[in-house]
Structure 1
Amino acid sequence: MAPPTPPVAAPDLGSMRIGLGQLLVEGGEPERNLARAVEQIAQAAAQRCDLVLLPETLDFAWTHPSALHEAEPIPGRFSDQLCEAAVAHGIYVCAGLTERAADGRNYNAAILISPQGDILVKYHKINLLTVEQPFYAVGQTLNVVDTPLGKIGVNICSDNYLDGLPIGHTLARMGAEFILAPSSWTVDYSLTEEHDPYEEKWVRPFSILAKLYNVVVVGTTSVGYIVGGPYEGKKSIGCSLAVDASGVRAQGVFNEFAGQLVVADLSRPHRPERGTEIGVMLQRKGHRFDQLPS
């Protein structure tokens, strides 16, 4: 009997050095927040990052009432600052902003900017929490873009809740190798790091996608106490995550007081399957198409 054929090793596709920019975001203070974002972009470039991922709605902060009347278009004054920083430092930037669209509605938006300052992806959050629906309209599109770093998909924060995982499934089906999620993870003011609030809420769904599809899922969140809006008094505490099929590759500290740049070197995953080949691969892994993953 002939010996079994050894498995073919996946090719080395290189890696992405990504900066997870945990950023202090103050409610209703876009100029100060954008200044900190630009500074963190510079820090990431100084540490030779290829891409820096910044938090959700870093201009006004998540659900701050001032955004209802002061949000800017994209492209616009706030996105231009990020584009200029990307060019100045030769780095990809993914960040969350509030967008005032041409139809007059506000969107919880995320953009991916090239080192040449071009907006490659503009995404509007789909899985909106009930409390944020008075502030933002529901998004209606998903995009994956080819870059020299790999195929990148973008979503936002609660799009990665267990009930929102079809969004991540779709990005993976579209060929994403990296899913980037600007976020604003919040907890009650009384919670401390001993409560470990993120294991089920974030590590689990990120890991489901990462292991099923061999993708890298990265979420960066703001830090600071929430001022104004329905979550006033709660806090954003960091714990930003980078997860691949092998597990958690990087995690920010539990820190509601100040920003932090977490640098992670993440291998570009090998994803040869396309279309229905992905379904066949999932079936081999025991995935059930008639139920949400658990």
Structure 2
Amino acid sequence: MVKAYQAACVQMASELGDKHTNLSTMRRWVQKICGEHPDLRLVVFPELVTTGFILGEKACEAAELHDGEHLGFISKLAAEYQVHIVYGYVERGAGGKIYDSQQLVSDQGKPLLNYRKIHLTEFEKSTFSAGHELAVVDTALGKIGMQICWDLAFPELSRLQALQGCDLLVASSAWESPYAPELQKFSMARAIDNTLHLVVSNSVGECSGFNFSGHSGIYDPTGKALSQLQDQAGYSIALIDPIIQQQCRNGFFSMLEERRLDVYSLNNESDQ
């Protein structure tokens, strides 16, 4: 079993379309957090953090391949500070399709997984194509499941990731005001539903006419917030302890083990 480790969620405002500035800001956050917490193993950044929440033609112009300049920068940063990094960016895929994507880079600077957001909001659908693949990957920290923002609202996704052996969920988000309470409720629910730790990194500030609510946090397998931010830039840190997860699943929070698959079906064809 993986030993307990420290994880951090960064809450920051990005400059619209200014990758250089945003990557530099990300570097300063990693430098600061690792300097204050030398044993840190994981840092999670918000959705589309490298460009800000960008839509339309500007998103097409800002899009990069999954192994573009952004990845080279983050890979060097992760290796330098020996920390896993999760971050969001605009991806250019095959056929000119644009995706709202997320990368996980190891503490050796190796890209481990690229995830494309599955659940798009209405105003995102005119810019981005939806992803179709669940994201769960083996890492030195255990199996990590990746989500982006609105994905958290769909319990099916987290449950499938849990059933694939996920040990930790990470979510990069650009969640709007005034829906911070909903972000917190969804986060607590996904954690307790699946008896998993969850790290949520949300944006703050204004971008593309949207105001982002902050309230990033780290949740334990009972849905309790281990650490949480308000609506200002900053970071939050907490201990991810796999032993606690196992104790919860072996005790009161045994929902995954006690599911009744024999009765979970739709009998009415009109409901299917």
Flag whether TM exceeds 0.5 (same fold): yes
Task: Determine the structure 2 residue equivalent to 1:165.
Answer: 155
8 Å Cα contact 1:184/1:222 also seen in 2: yes
Q: Deviations over 1:101-159 (max 9, x none)?
A: 13311110011100111111110000100100111100011121222222111010100
C-alpha distance in 2 between matches for 1:16 and 1:215? 15
Q: Conserved in 2, the CA contact under 8 Å of 1:177 and 1:214? A: no
Distance 2:50 2:123 in 1: 19
The equivalent of 1:60 in structure 2 is 51
Cα 1:19–1:283 change in 2 (3 A) is same
Deviation at 1:61, TM superposition (A): 1.6
Does the CA-based 8 Å contact 1:13-1:270 persist in structure 2? Answer: no
Unaligned runs of 5+ in 2: 267-272
8 Å Cα contact 1:108/1:136 also seen in 2: yes
Contact persistence 1:63–1:135 (CA under 8 A): no
User: What residue number does 2:4 align with?
Assistant: 15
Q: Which residue of 2 aligns with 1:216?
A: 197
Residue segments in structure 1 that go unaligned for 5+ positions in a row? 1-11, 189-196
Q: Which whole-Å CA distance do the structure 1 matches of 2:102 and 2:212 have between them?
A: 18
TM-score, structure 1 length as denominator? Answer: 0.80
1:71 Cα deviation from its structure 2 partner: 1.0
* Aligned-partner residue type, residue 180 of structure 2: Y
Identity %: 23
Alignment partner for residue 254 of structure 1, among 212, 226, 231? Answer: 231
Q: Which has the larger radius of gyration?
A: 1
- Pairing 1:176-255 to 2, within 5 Å after superposition: 176-187=166-177, 197-199=179-181, 201-227=182-208, 232=209, 234-246=210-222, 247-255=224-232
CA-atom RMSD in angstroms: 2.3
For 1:28 and 1:100, the matched residues in 2 are separated by 15
Counting matched residue pairs gives 255
**Cα distance, 1:283 vs. partner?**
4.2
Equivalent residue for 1:141?
Answer: 133
Distance 1:263 1:61 in 2: 23
Task: Return the letter of the residue paired with 1:60.
Answer: T
- Cα distance, 1:63 vs. partner? 3.2
CA contact (8 A) 2:13 2:206 kept: no
What residue is the counterpart of 2:103 in the other structure? 111
Q: Deviations over 1:70-127 (max 9, x none)?
A: 2111111112111110011111001111111133111100111001111111100001
TM-score by length of 2: 0.86
